[in-house]
Amino acid sequence: MMMMMNRLLIICASLLLLMVSLPLRAQEITFEESPLPRVGVWDQWEESPFRSGQLTGNCKVVANPFADGGNPSAYVLGCQRSLYGSNLYGARVDLPDDQQFELTPQEKYLHVLIHKPVAGRCMLLVLGKHQEPGWEHQRTDVVQSARLSLNQAVPGQWSDVVFPLKGVGQVRATSLVIVFDCESPHRLTAPFVAYMDNIRLGDAVPQQVNPGDGALSRGDGRGNADTASAPGMVLVSNFQRNGGGLLSNGQPFNAGFGHPRRTPLRVKGVGEEGFICTGIIVHHGPGGVFSRLFTQEDFLDDGSLIIPAELLEGDILIEGVMTERK
């Protein structure tokens, strides 16, 4: 009798696991039916007026203004690109409980239809929480993954933008932030509106992504590439509000690139006109839960900073402290 009950428990557990895992392979979020997912804006910049509550942002479900063969949906998610957000400002979509998923070492791909009027890179931020013991204190809105898209949205038309997804495991994804303009806000003279729809998660390698579509080259290690998935590489991301970042060779980067694990990295913060870089904060550890501030005393004579190897055990996020010139 006991053996039969154990077998029934195993069968029920297997069926439950199957029911939970199957929707994740083909799940899709649209904005056509109720209940709609909760949406809003998100900015990775800690001092953002959208984080402090000074500004609320403009992000809501609207009638599709560009319904065509590329996307005939009646309703889509619209989000205004604010001049007051950082280069990691975007539309946040909270995942319903039955559509939350685990970030695993097995790479998956998230497709998002995006329509925007200007060129510029896109990035996906995954917010979530570690599930293993000892992480009970962690919030559910900690950035667990930051990945550039494999291809770029074509201005003025619906584009199927594809983002790679990968994690260490035992990390529950609770929200997605679609950064539809991962560029410095200082290049903008006016805000604009981007539209998003049909957020779909799958396992299959995206066949439609190719260099002819503006895809990012993978594995070059020099910037703007998805190289963190390569063995021995980590993803280095960078977000700024009043400036930008440079590599040791003077090459600018706004989003991220692959760098050899446990290898020192030389970077430099450069302020926009009227600003100067007075410090660099390196967010490191699982989900960037640890932070280390480097001041001008740590800078080399040319204003650059060598990030020590021990901070590059995993992915890092670099934040420049830009101070207004007196």
Q: Which of 130-144, 159-173, 224-238, 255-269 has the lowest mean pLDDT?
A: 224-238
- Give the residue-averaged pLDDT of 48-70: 94
Here the tokens at position 43 are 């900015």
Chosen CATH of 27-212 out of 1.10.10.60, 3.40.50.720, 2.60.120.260, 1.20.1440.120:
2.60.120.260
- Give the residue-averaged pLDDT of 220-228: 38
**β-pairing verdict for 171-179 and 243-247:** unpaired
> 75 falls in which pLDDT band (50, 70, 90)?
very high
- The per-residue pLDDT for range 239-290, each reduced to its tens digit, is 666 777 788 777 776 555 778 999 999 999 888 778 888 889 898 876 566 7
C-alpha–C-alpha distance, residues 91 and 113, integer Å:
13
- The per-residue pLDDT for range 36-57, each reduced to its tens digit, is 999 999 998 888 899 889 999 9
Neighbours of 307 (CB within 10 A): 22
The share of the chain scoring above pLDDT 90, in percent, equals 37
Spell out the domain ranges in the chain.
27-212, 217-324
C-alpha–C-alpha distance, residues 59 and 77, integer Å:
7
Question: Is a pLDDT exceeding 70 seen at residue 6?
Answer: no
Question: Is a pLDDT exceeding 50 seen at residue 14?
Answer: no
280 and 318 Cβ atoms separated by less than 8 Å: yes
Q: Which is more confident, 281 or 16? A: 281
| CA-CA-CA-CA torsion sign (103, 108, 113, 117) | positive
20-24, 106-110, 121-125, 295-299: which is most confident: 295-299
DSSP-based three-state secondary structure for 228 = coil
- Give the residue-averaged pLDDT of 95-100: 89
Q: Find the helix or strand (DSSP H, E) in which 25 lies.
A: helix 2-26
Q: Which of 19-23, 25-29, 202-206 has the lowest mean pLDDT?
A: 19-23
Phi–psi pair at 12, nearest 5 degrees: -65, -40
264 and 247 Cβ atoms separated by less than 8 Å: no
C-alpha–C-alpha distance, residues 48 and 187, integer Å:
18
Of 18, 25, 14, which is closest to residue 104 (Cα–Cα)?
A: 25
- Give the residue-averaged pLDDT of 321-326: 78
Of 43, 44, 47, which is closest to residue 57 (Cα–Cα)?
A: 43
pLDDT at 256: 57
Q: What is the pTM of this model?
A: 0.67
Q: Which of 9-13, 96-100, 110-114, 246-250 has the lowest mean pLDDT?
A: 9-13
At residue 116, what is the residue type? K
Neighbours of 118 (CB within 10 A): 15
DSSP one-letter code for 88? T
- Give the residue-averaged pLDDT of 56-61: 94
Of 221, 218, 281, 219, which is closest to residue 245 (Cα–Cα)?
A: 281
